[in-house]
Amino acid sequence: MTGREEYLRWLQADTLTEEERQELEAIREQPQEIRERFFAPLSFGTAGLRGIMGAGIRRMNGHVVAQATRALGLLMLRQDSRASEKGAVVCFDCRLHSREYAAIAAVVLAELGIRVSLFETLHPTPELSFAIRELGALAGINITASHNPKEYNGYKVYWEDGAQLPPEHAAQVAAIMAEIDPLRPLPRISLPAAIKDGRIRLLGADMDERFLTRVLERSIDRDAVKNAALRIVYTPFNGAGAKLVPEALRRLGVEHLFCVAEQMEPDGTFPTAKNPNPEFEIGFERALLLAKQVDADLIIGTDPDSDRLGLMVRRGKGDYQLLTGNQVGVLFLDYLCTAGLRKGTLPPRPMALKSIVSSEMTRAVADHYGVGMEDTFTGFKFLAERMKQHENDGVSVIFAYEEAIGYAFGTFVRDKDAVTASVMAAEMASVTALRDKTLLDRLEELYALLGRYEENTISLVMPGVDGLEKMGKLMERLRSLPPETLGGERVSCLRDYRSGEARYADGHTETLAMKDSDVLYFVLEDGSRFIVRPSGTEPKIKCYLMVKGEDAADCRRKLEKLAGEANRLAEG
Measured CA distances, 142 to 70, 320, 392 (Å): 15, 34, 27
**Using only C-alpha atoms, what is the Rg of the chain?**
24
Separation of CA 12 from chain center: 38
Which residues make Cβ contacts (< 8 Å) with residue 463, sequence separation at least 6? 539
Which runs of consecutive H residues, i.e. helices, occur in 13-144? 18-25, 31-38, 62-79, 83-86, 98-111, 125-135
Q: What does the buried/exposed string (b/e) look like for 35-56 if buried means 16 or more CB atoms within 10 Å of the residue's CB?
A: bbbbbebbebbbbbbbbbbbbb
Q: Are strands 501-504 and 489-496 parallel, antiparallel or unpaired?
A: antiparallel
**Amino acid identity of 312?**
M
**Amino acid identity of 78?**
R
Give burial (CB, 10 Å; 0-12/13-18/19+) of 174.
middle
The CB density around residue 362, as the number of other CB atoms within 10 Å, is: 25
Residue by residue, DSSP assigns 104-128 as HHHHHHHHTT--EEEESS---HHHH
Active-site residue (options: 129, 146, 219, 355):
146
User: Comparing C-alpha atoms, which of 224, 230, 183, 212 is closest to residue 6?
Assistant: 183
Contact 245/419 with Cβ under 8 angstroms? yes
- What is d(CA 522, CA 149) in angstroms, rounded to the nearest whole number? 31
Q: Are strands 396-402 and 350-355 parallel, antiparallel or unpaired?
A: parallel
Measured CA distances, 202 to 158, 193, 468, 498 (Å): 19, 13, 40, 43
- What is d(CA 416, CA 408) in angstroms, rounded to the nearest whole number? 5
Is 355 designated active site? no
Which residues make Cβ contacts (< 8 Å) with residue 500, sequence separation at least 6? 511, 512, 514, 515, 516
- What is d(CA 405, CA 173) in angstroms, rounded to the nearest whole number? 29
According to DSSP, the residues that pair with 141 across neighbouring strands are 90, 157
Q: What 3-state DSSP class applies to 141?
A: strand
Q: What does the buried/exposed string (b/e) look like for 493-525 if buried means 16 or more CB atoms within 10 Å of the residue's CB?
A: bbbbbeeeebbeeeeeeeeeeeeebbbbbbbbe
Measured CA distances, 467 to 49, 266, 290 (Å): 18, 33, 40
| Catalytic residue numbers, as ranges | 146
